Structure 1
């Protein structure tokens, strides 16, 4: 069962008031009882002081005086009862005491007269008299306590409503469509802190939603372009398969179609591999960074490139190692694609990789002696699926897009300029973390 905060405040107030009233009621009842007994003892003491001097003359009147049962008097000397009302009190020590007499409780005060006869007078009244007064007073205490609890509950409900009003307002603001920025200055500390926390959460949710929408838009565009780029080679492959299946071709024709089919299949495979690498790069985070020797990665990439292309010569122009926080796999991917692009599309035979640094950046320069890139295409070649005028057939159009992506992931950029070797110069500027 759910209760409103206002009801909880009222219930808490009622519970607190009940505990306080119960405690005070118990204390008050004890005090009232003791006070009434004390008052009764004072009355009996006063009566005793009045009756002791005339004890001898009272003997003749006690039977008549005590017939109403409103009080009881017993006069003794030693163990002998000299006189008594019809209700005879037992022999008691001096002082006040509550005793049972024939099934009735009496409050009795006993005192001894200062005389040679050693007269002892016991004066008592029914204890029910004091008890009735006590019960009446305790009843008023109970009624007053119940009234205090009811009043506290009502006030808790009234003031609880005012206390939770900022939270009610905050709930309405947050529940609005779209959610309104909550008011952070209500005058209630807890409500203000909650409003600030909710405002921060809404801001983060808004930013996350914006990033999600942007990512979804990018993903849709990326998927559309990828589907478009893959449709052409897949259509060509289907056509080649239909030709092989329906026509009786001569061996030279058959080999030509199979070669074209194999080339197209390689193009699809290269495109899918590049798409996978692009997606992996977009999922990279700061946690993937590690200390990397940039010169060593350049050297390994150069050795692999020369092993795959025996006619290629790649030289590293750097005097010492250079370590920075980077994405090792991403940096290697960018260098591999930069060298492959120079060889495959620029027909380069000689490549020089230079590494330099300053306080804020690490710069990797890839020079080649190939055919170069026209000035008009130096920005477009970084677009996904773009193929330059001098690009060879079979490429995915994603190699330089991967290079630019890795440069951006490292907080920098990639661009082309003229190379002193006669071909193209690819510059990767990486920002130090």
Structure 2
């Protein structure tokens, strides 16, 4: 039907007004029915009382012949049933008691009772049963009152709905002015439902912003991976192709052939290292807060030390008794510590490495000292960049090991610093926040 469709497309204010009018209509209808029942009962009681007074007055012989307007009186002999007295229209034969009968199309309330007169008479006295309060003439009045009540209720609903929906209008205006990428909106106060809707929309915007950021990070990681892979793999792949052409075209002596094969192996290891490191960098860019876990620091350091023990170097782990655990990405933090250890073993050629961990001031500090050949002071900062190799680095590396450490340090709310160590080699100081709240830093 067209009416429900109009209501469905109407504003909330109009709906409140219509609902108020409908509620008023229901109340008026219920009140009218209840009032009608009460008035009908009241009319019946009044008619019976009036009839009682007329009957009492008519029982006196001297008043029996008195004419009364709208009163019908019919007397019948109790023995023969013949009419012995009549005033007005004749009433039908009725048993003793009170009944409502119709005479010439008009309802009368009739009281019938025996009278000891002229050998016994059965007297019926009736009055018109017209209702004063429920007369047909008052129907237009009741209808008009009902219509006015409905209109007043609808108007009040319209007026009162204005302030009530003002927070929703404000919420609509704020939503319409939100810029692209907005992840929050001003709170709306005044109506509980509007406040709940505002909070729900803010939460939804946060989720959408987080999803958009995750998508952006994924796209950026893919672009970075492709760009870096294209740039960094070109040189080793070109060298490998040249070595393969040399082996295919020339019949080299055994010693020269072995040297070309060794070059191929080094280039292959470098390509593998670059691809692995680029994948780890991309994974770091896609780290999600919900993936964090509690990391047992002492256990992590012990596992890294055991896995690198086969290198032949002496690896010592020293931790405070209250070192405890920190929130973070287990794989990422382990990668950072492992890269620092491998950097000391591979590029520093260290024979003794000391891992020391302590916490204080809301920060976990992991220090890696080695007795290797160290690094010039002017390179302590530059080697932390991507594809930056130190002057003392061994061949075949990716140039991304320390960049990965810096990325994980930033993700964990800390940092990495290189300096000269007390063992004669390099000291790497990795800091990690011990706060359960993740860092807002997003490496690129």
Relative to the length of structure 2, the TM-score reads: 0.77
Shifted more, 317-326 versus 30-39: the winner is 317-326
How far apart are the structure 1 equivalents of 2:174 and 2:309?
66
How far apart are the structure 1 equivalents of 2:167 and 2:336?
56
> Relative to structure 1, is the Cα distance of residues 182 and 55 closer, same or farther in structure 2, using a 3 angstrom cutoff?
farther
Count of paired positions: 419
What is the Cα deviation at residue 292 of structure 1? 1.3
Per the alignment, residue 42 of structure 2 pairs with 35
How far apart are the structure 1 equivalents of 2:44 and 2:295?
91
- Please list every run of 5 or more consecutive structure 1 residues that lacks an aligned counterpart in the other structure: none
How far apart are the structure 2 equivalents of 1:284 and 1:167?
35
Shifted more, 363-372 versus 254-263: the winner is 254-263
Per the alignment, residue 18 of structure 1 pairs with 25
Residue of structure 2 aligned with 1:373, choices 365, 372, 375: 375
Per the alignment, residue 414 of structure 1 pairs with 416
What is the Cα deviation at residue 387 of structure 1? 1.0
What is the Cα deviation at residue 25 of structure 1? 0.6
> Relative to structure 1, is the Cα distance of residues 203 and 342 closer, same or farther in structure 2, using a 3 angstrom cutoff?
same
- In 2, are the aligned partners of 1:48 and 1:111 still within 8 Å (CA)? no
- In 2, are the aligned partners of 1:292 and 1:328 still within 8 Å (CA)? no
Structure 2 counterpart SS, 1:84: strand
The answer to whether residue 293 in structure 2 is matched with residue 289 in structure 1 is: yes
Per the alignment, residue 352 of structure 1 pairs with 354
Per the alignment, residue 250 of structure 1 pairs with 252
Per the alignment, residue 396 of structure 1 pairs with 398
Shifted more, 218-227 versus 394-403: the winner is 218-227
Q: CA RMSD in A?
A: 4.0
Matches within 5 A, 1:43-122: 43-54=50-61, 58=65, 71-76=71-76, 78-79=78-79, 80=81, 81-85=83-87, 86-94=89-97, 96-99=98-101, 105-110=107-112, 120-122=122-124
> Relative to structure 1, is the Cα distance of residues 91 and 330 closer, same or farther in structure 2, using a 3 angstrom cutoff?
closer
How far apart are the structure 2 equivalents of 1:378 and 1:26?
94
- CA displacement 1:176-211 (0-9 Å, x = unmatched): 35389977677x434762575278448747974895
Structure 1 counterpart SS, 2:60: helix
What is the Cα deviation at residue 23 of structure 1? 1.0
How far apart are the structure 2 equivalents of 1:5 and 1:93?
64
What is the Cα deviation at residue 28 of structure 1? 1.5
How far apart are the structure 2 equivalents of 1:328 and 1:297?
8
How far apart are the structure 1 equivalents of 2:157 and 2:321?
77
- In 2, are the aligned partners of 1:347 and 1:371 still within 8 Å (CA)? yes
Per the alignment, residue 423 of structure 1 pairs with 425
Structure 1 counterpart SS, 2:296: strand
How far apart are the structure 1 equivalents of 2:141 and 2:119?
49
How far apart are the structure 2 equivalents of 1:56 and 1:211?
105
Relative to the length of structure 1, the TM-score reads: 0.79
What is the Cα deviation at residue 149 of structure 1? 2.2
Shifted more, 352-361 versus 107-116: the winner is 107-116
Per the alignment, residue 144 of structure 1 pairs with 145
- Please list every run of 5 or more consecutive structure 2 residues that lacks an aligned counterpart in the other structure: 436-444
What is the Cα deviation at residue 82 of structure 1? 2.3
What is the Cα deviation at residue 7 of structure 1? 2.8
The answer to whether residue 9 in structure 2 is matched with residue 5 in structure 1 is: no
> Relative to structure 1, is the Cα distance of residues 139 and 37 closer, same or farther in structure 2, using a 3 angstrom cutoff?
farther
What is the Cα deviation at residue 162 of structure 1? 5.2
- In 2, are the aligned partners of 1:166 and 1:191 still within 8 Å (CA)? no
> Relative to structure 1, is the Cα distance of residues 131 and 99 closer, same or farther in structure 2, using a 3 angstrom cutoff?
farther
Structure 2 counterpart SS, 1:429: strand
How far apart are the structure 2 equivalents of 1:389 and 1:265?
22
